[in-house]
Structures are given as structure tokens and as C-alpha cells.
Chain A
Amino acid sequence: MPEIEYQVEMNHIYKSFEGVVALHDVSFSVKPGEIHALVGENGAGKSTLIRILSGALQPDQGEIKIRGEKVNITKPDDGIKHGISVIYQEFALFPHISVAENIFIDEVRAYNGFINWKDIKQRAKAFLEELGFGFIDVNARVMDLSVAYQQVIEICKALTRNASVLVLDEPTAVLTTKEVERLFALLQNLKSKDVAIIYVSHRLDEIFRITDRITVLKDGKFVKTLETSSIDAHQLVNLMIGRELSDYFPPRKSNIGEVVLSVEHIRSGRAVKDISFNVREGEVLGLSGLVGAGRTEAMRAIFGVDKLDDGKVTLYGREIKIKSPEHAYRLGIGLLPENRKTQGVLLRMPILHNITLSCLKMFCKLGWINKKQEYQIASNLSKELAVKTASLFNRVASLSGGNQQKVAIAKLLASKCKVLILDEPTRGVDVGAKIEIFKIINSMVEKKCAVIMISSEMTEIIGMCDRAVVIREGRSVGELQKNELTELNLIKYSMGVNDHAIKN
């Protein structure tokens, strides 16, 4: 077989979603036997690129070459056929069946009458032994294994498909330190077998430890590919950010007053370990951090959706225990959920009914809705927020993403909440609508509301917030005042890079 330089090449990939550019002329290649890191901020386009490689998405333009030959990957099966296996954070395993069956699921699925269990178990055992995990019982149910071993099973499954390119999406996010070591040993093992490994991670220390080369993406654009040994953490961070603060944040005049809501050392479920912060009247508090750091979960716990296991929440100095979202609304706390379509709006209902959903009581007498008053309130709000629609009786589904989000925000405003929790308020809306949403947020704080804004876009946190708290792995790890709000600081805290690594 002739020597090939690259196992996989992606050349000049373009991809946009409904007019929003996700990837713009990105090129990227991985050598066999190399661990290649793919880094960038949230939304830089890493996931999109990987999904294109796996066949889950189609590029608008560009080509993919496997071992120097141009290939067409139009569906995930094609990706697997060409030896590309992606291991996502959510494993694609069948929890109720055995390890051996999971590893050879393709054979089990394609069975033609009989399965040679003995053979499958033996081969599964051989596979695991080869990777140094011979102690995993092939008869065990996958659900009984720890997350780390489930990941090993995923990798084994990929290898049965003769994977020559293995993509790991944040593989260590769910692992303990010890498990991470095991994974790294496994990756070194695979590397020596000439598997090309694409490693997506936010953890800089890991990237410097195990990868050979690094490709940096920023805002959907290719920045640079370089040898890991040729750069340090500070330079890498600069490559990842290094962007002018956009000037699309409208100015606001607000007087910051007393503390309204204060949260101390809350703990909830597995995602929220120890989070504290407070928010004042007329202030926008940012909650920054990586996706999955526990910000949304913390808000859910405060809002009464999930159980609060420990900690104290006080509103205007009085301790409160919120039992349900209904209770939260009664106390004047409103939430704009993270996922607009499934949580934020009722797509099949009219705009009017969406806006007044949370505040029906205000114009109801004995349950009877005063429709005139209802229409008045909704129509004033929709004018104020500039919701673009011909009629308030149209379904929300007929609106664009940005306008749907405005309807969801109008719902909070209609119910006259004093504390507003906005979870990714600008996700999936275009730039124009973003600016309008920022203006709405400004007018809210000018009316003395306290706003908590979760955002994964650092520019947004920097441009909009008076103060920000950074959450990392379920803990609040730092508070940054307005003058300290820089991307460098936010990244430093959210990724846990120590000062030493980042100093000039």
C-alpha cells in the first residue's frame, strides 16, 4: 500500500443554517496515527464540522477526501463505511443488553436467523483485552458499567467497524481523573495502531498533553493548524478569541440598586455542586461558562423545576423555597427557557394566547377572561417589542425565530416579573433580532428589573452584563466586575486555566 499523508482531508467546507453561516471555508486534515485537537469557543463550528464528517450533515460546498480519494458522505452509514466513527457525549449504546452484544451490534442487527453467541463473546473479550480492558465482563449489561467503561465499549464498537478515523467529542467531560488516565492510555494504544484521532475538547491541559497538532476555529472560520509543541496555552487562547468586541450592544442608563435575588451555595442533582451569586435591581448579571457547566440546571433548581438539594435562595432579603414554576411566577420570578421551540413558546397557539399565558389571572374575573383587556395588553407589548406579524391571532409557528423569542419574552413582561432569568436569549436568532433583544433587555433593567442572563457567547456577556459569574463544572468559580470582563478572563475561569499558563 502506498504511503498516504492524510487519513482524512476536509477542504474548503461551507455550511449555513437558514442563512446563518456556521462554517466558512474551513479546511482541516488529519494524519494516520495522529491525535488532532479541534478547538474553538462555543459556536465556533466544531460540532458542525464533525457532523459533516460523520455524514449527519451535508456541506453546502467543499470536499472530503479519505486516504487521498474524494468521497461522498451523504448519510451516517456512509461515514461508517469509510471508517469514520464519532463518539458523541451521549453514547449510542443499548443500555439493557450485554457488552458483547453492544460491541457487535452491527452483526446482531444484521442477523439472519442465528447468532453465534459464543463466538461473539469470545471476540468481544479479545477486543477488550487488546485494548487493555480485559477485565470488563462481556456478559454485563452496559447500564451497569460506569460511564468511563461505557465509553470504552463505544470505542470498541467503532473499532469493529474498522474505524480508521475516530472522533471524540468532549470525551473527558463525564470522566473522573483516574478514568481520564485510562482513556489517554487507550488513545495512545490506538495511535500506535495508526488510527487517526480527532479530539474535540475545551480542556487546554489535556490538549497540550496528548495531541500532536491543533486546529483552531473561530466564528465558523478556519484560523490555523499548528504543531502542539510550537505554542503555549496563552497563544492558543489568543488564537481562539482575538476578535473585536462588536459594537452592536446598545447603551443603557440604569441605576443599580439593592440586591434582589441572592443564591448561596446551592446544590442540585449531579450538575449543580456549589453555586452562589446575587443580582441587583436594574442590573444584568451574566452567567458565563462552557456548555454543560451547570448554568441551566442551576436556574432550573432556583425556578422550582428541579429539586434544590441544598443551599439558600433569598428574595428581597427573605428566604424563599420555590416549589414550582407557578410559585416562582407568583413571587415575580420569570424564566425564559433555553429551548425556544420546545420550552419557550406554544407553537400551535396564537401569539395572543402565548403572550398572556402566564398572566391570565390579571384580567380574569371568576375565571372569565376579559378578552378586550387581554388583547389590549398583548397588542401593546407586541408593539413595544416590535413583533413582526400581521395579526396576533396567527400561530407562533408562523413567526421567524427572533420574533418567536420576542413573544416568549413578551410573556415574561406581561406577567410583570421583577426578576428575569434569560437562558440563552439570543440562541438561533439572526443579528438584527439579537440587537432588538438586547434593547428589550435594556428597557427591562431601566424599569428596575433584575436580569440574570445565561449566555455561551462571551461577547454577549461582555457587551451586555454589568457583572458576570463564571460557572465551571457545577461551581461558581469567579465573579468579574464590569471592568474585568474580558474574553481572556472569562476563558481563564471557564476552562480552569491557571494564571501561570496564561501569563505573558
Chain B
Amino acid sequence: MQSKTENKSGERQKAVIGIQNRSIGSILMRHNASFILIVLCIVSTIISPLFLTKGNVFNLLRQQSTYMIISIGMLTVMLTGGIDLSVSSIAAIGSIMAAIPLKDWGYDTGLGLVSAIAIGVGCCVIIGAINGFLVSYLNMPAFIVTLATSFSIQGVAFILTNGAPILLDFTQHSSSIIIKFGEACDPIFGIPYPVILAAVVVIVFYFIMSYTSFGRLVTAIGSNETAAYLAGINVKRYKFWVYVISGLLSGIAGIIILARAGSATPLTTASDYNLSSIAGVVIGGCSLTGGEGTVGYTVIGVLVIAVLGNIMNLMSLAVYPQMMVKGLIIVLAVLLRSMTSKSMAG
């Protein structure tokens, strides 16, 4: 014990000495995600003239709207020091549970569409609540809980669909609205609707995380759970709600997936939302132990991964090599992050 204290004091001394030469370095570290993004954009522009075209940018953003929304949910969970490995599965269930009423139950009015979306998203909220209950009130490790629920939901998704995609009926009134939402752009600026929805989510959560007691306390819990608990904070309640939020946002993303594809497939459970959202959040500067991270930097972190994928598409790299490169780059980015956070620790 005592020797540890001594080591720490030694480190602190070093940190104090290092203060002067840290200023430029620390700016670079704090904003490393922004720098990476800028460098990536420049490189991409040089490599492909198509990169900066309006079509490509909107396409990129449209693709990323789901990742963006899910990552914001992941951020709230990771801020408390937890993790949610069930976001892919939850998004899949969201799309399936919205598609079933539209397709099989004949919900073909405007109200029907709203109900279908409510059912889809509602299921996701319930799954998030189950995750939250198990992690928070029963004190189980988030990693295991969400991995396990993810696995179960995957099973449910295949049972509900018999393993085949549910194709929406284009001729139906309600289905045509949702498909239009996925495809069309808003009439004024020509921005795709899913991008607008993602932007709304980002802005809402920007305010929630920086201006409300919820955001503050979630961060406090991740910073030091014991201290927060002893300071009279209902730690369990907040830890519960972040999983509900993650479920809710995954569900919203699920609706966008349904809208864009015009179909819901159980294969979404096996998509890369888990890895990509965690990577986006971490590249954006969230500490894996919680307590650090902002909505703004998460957006940048997600965009870093997005641009990476986009440029590989423009270079017409095949899917499998893309996966390989993406995985490697995520490992590198997280490594860089853990190295810088170590040197930042006071």
C-alpha cells in the first residue's frame, strides 16, 4: 500500500515537472480526434475527387445517421463506466418489431405508422430497461449482461422473421411514408431526413449532457462511483436510465434502418454497430472507465470511422479487406487513446 502511495507521489512529481512541455502536446491529445478527422478528410480529398461532392457527403451522413444515434446512447452508458454490447441486436429488434405491424397486422394509416414505430421503439426501451435493471439493481457486470441479452435477442429476431427479411409493401400508405423518409431529402436544403433526425438527437443530447443534472451526475458516477454514492447520489437510478436511453436510441436507429432498406432483417443483429459505436465514442475521447467524454467529440469520433469507411468505398475496396483495415485502425485509435489518457492522468 504504502509503496504504491510513494510511486504515485513520484509520478505526480514527474507530472508537475512535465507541465510546461505538456501544453502543446496536451492540446493535440485533447483534440486528437479532430486532428485525425481533418487529416483523414484532406487525405480523402487527395485520393478521390469524389469525396467532397455533395452527393458523397450526404450519402456518407445518411449512412452514418444510425451509427451517430447509437453512439450517443453508447456514450451515456460508457460515461458511467459501463458498456452496451446489445445495441446491434436492439436496433434489429426495433426494425423488426416496427415492420411486423406494418406488414402482417395491416397498419396502413398514418396512425398505424406511428403505432408501429411506437411498438418497435417500445420493445427496445424494454430491452434497455432489462439491461439497466440487471446491471444496476442486481449489480451484474455490464459486459456479460449486455452480451447475453444481445444473444437472446438475436434468437428472438430469427424466430420472429423465420430468418428471412420482412419486406415492406411499397403500395401501402404507411410503408410508403417510412420508405420515403429513408430515401428523400428535405425540400429546402436537400438534407436527407435521417441526417436531420440524427442531428436532432445529437443536439438534444448535447444539451442534456452539458446542461442538465442528469448529464452531470452520469459523468460524476463514471468519474468515481463510490464518491458519487457517498455524496448522496442515487447511483443505481442513473445507471439504470443510461441503458434505457441506449435502448431507446438503438430503437430509433432501428427505425431508420427499416426506412432506408425498406425491409427488416435479423442479420442486422450481426452488424458492426457494437464495435463501431464503442470505437467512435472512445476515439472521441471517452475514457473506458467512464467519467470523461462529450457529445461533440463523440460526433467527431463517429465521423472519423465514417470517413475511413467512405474513402475505402470510393477506392472500391472489397468488403472483407475493408473490415480488416477498419478493425486494425480502430485498435490503433483506441491504443493511441489509452496511451494519451495515461499520460494525461494527474
Interface positions of A (Cβ within 8 A of B): 17-18, 47-48, 51, 56-58, 303, 305, 324-326, 328-330, 334-335, 337, 342-349, 353, 357-358, 360-361, 364, 367-369, 371, 395, 397-398, 411, 415
Q: In whole angstroms, what is the CA distance A346 to B222 when docked?
A: 9
Contact A51 B3 (CB under 8 A): yes
* B188 at interface by CB-CB < 8 Å: no
Instruction: Provide the residues of chain B in CB contact with A371, threshold 8 Å.
Output: 211
Which of B216, B229, B292 neighbours the largest number of chain A CB atoms within 10 Å of its CB?
A: B216
Tell me whether A358 and B2 are in contact in the complex, defined as CB-CB below 8 angstroms, given that A368-B211, A398-B346 are known contacts: no
Q: Do A369 and B230 have beta carbons less than 8 Å apart?
A: no
- Are A358 and B231 closer than 8 Å at their CB atoms? yes
Q: Known: A346-B224, A353-B220. Is A57-B6 also a contact (CB below 8 A)?
A: yes
Q: A52: nearest residue on chain B (CB-CB)? A: B2
Indicate if the CB atoms of B3 and A56 lie closer than 8 Å. Answer: yes
Give A157 to B346 CA distance when docked, in angstroms. 39
> Can you pick out 19 interface pairs between chain A and chain B where the beta carbons lie within 8 Å of each other?
A57-B3, A303-B230, A325-B229, A325-B232, A326-B234, A330-B232, A342-B226, A342-B227, A343-B224, A343-B226, A346-B220, A346-B228, A347-B224, A360-B213, A367-B212, A367-B214, A368-B212, A369-B212, A395-B346
Q: Which residue of B lies closest to A366 (CB)?
A: B212
Number of A-B contacts defined by CB within 8 Å: 95
Q: Find chain A residues with CB under 8 A from B214 CB.
A: 367
Interface size class of B (residues with CB under 8 A): 20 to 34
Measured between C-beta atoms, what is the minimum distance from B139 to chain A in Å? Answer: 15
B231 contacts A349, C-beta separation under 8 Å: no
Which single residue of chain A is at the shortest CB-CB distance from B13? A18
Q: How far is the CA of A57 from the CA of B211 in the complex (A)?
A: 46
Q: Any chain A CB within 8 A of the CB of B192?
A: no
State which residues 192-249 of B face A: CB under 8 Å: 211-214, 216-217, 219-220, 223-224, 226-234
Whether A349 and B291, one on each chain, are in contact in the complex, defined by CB atoms closer than 8 angstroms, is: yes
Contacts of A328 in B (CB 8 A): 232
B56 within 8 A of A: no
Quote the shortest CB–CB distance from B257 to chain A (angstroms): 30
Please give the distance in Å from A51's CB to the nearest CB on chain B: 5
Instruction: Give chain B nearest CB distance to A5 CB in angstroms.
Output: 30
Kindly state whether residue B9 has any CB partner on chain A within 8 Å: yes
Closest to A336 in B: B230
Determine the distance from Cα of A346 to Cα of B79 in the docked complex, in whole angstroms: 14
Closest to B232 in A: A329
Residues of chain A lying within 8 A (CB to CB) of residue B9: 17-18
Residues of B within 8 A of A361 (CB): 213
Given contacts A17-B6, A346-B227, A367-B214, 4 further A-B contacts (CB under 8 A): A51-B3, A303-B230, A353-B219, A369-B216
B25 CB to closest chain A CB, in angstroms? 17
Interchain CB contact under 8 A, A343 and B234:
no
How distant is A288 from chain B, measured CB to nearest CB, in Å?
23
Complex: A47 Cα to B3 Cα, angstroms: 12
Q: Does B21 contact A (CB under 8 A)?
A: no
